[in-house]
Amino acid sequence: MDKICYEPIGIIHSPFDKPQGMPIQSLGAKNVSGSVEIFPQYAEALKDLEGFSHIVLIYYFHLSNGYDLQVVPFLDDVPRGLFSTRAPRRPNPIGLSIVQLNRVQGTTLFISDIDAVDKTPLLDIKPYIPSLNPKGKIRVGWLERNWGRFSQKHADGRFVS
């Protein structure tokens, strides 16, 4: 099938200049401040965004290179199928973070809880709408018994190559 090509709509800025030592997921990045610089041609598309307290950022894992079909996740000791993990080295290196939107000033979004590396190319912004989340019992597979490890863990560079 043909390739699907995108172009960045902006750049994410964060305090993390490399993946090593970064928080794992935005939950581990609580209160980490950053910003998103949207390219000026999209300024008008930012109208109404400030009404949302949280936004979904979809971005390119630009430092990721290649992938393995199974990986040992940060929160486990045994290999897991890649699609059951959030590892950045994926067939299509696309990242997804829900961040807090504090303020919009011109084409700059001031955000918190950002877990992406500095200079990450942004592909899309969507409003975060909690009503769209599934209700009822949710199972989280291999994470079920490993979640307790979360708070102690930071990325160690294993997913960069």
Q: Are 26 and 98 in contact (CB under 8 A)?
A: yes
Residue from 21, 40, 141, 157 binding its own copies (CB under 8 A): 141
Report if residue 130 touches its own copies, rule: CB under 8 A: yes
Please report how close the Cβ of residue 155 comes to its own copies at its closest, in angstroms.
15
Q: Which residues of 105-140 are buried (b: 16+ CB within 10 A; e: fewer)?
A: eebebebbbbbbbeebbbbebeebeeeeeeeeeeee
Report if residue 63 touches its own copies, rule: CB under 8 A: no
Please report how close the Cβ of residue 41 comes to its own copies at its closest, in angstroms.
9
Q: Which two tokens stand for residue 77?
A: 């000791």
Question: Which residues contact its own copies (rule: CB under 8 A)?
Answer: 1, 3-9, 25-27, 42, 44-56, 58, 60, 69-70, 80-86, 90-92, 94, 96, 98, 100, 113, 121, 123-134, 137-144, 147, 150
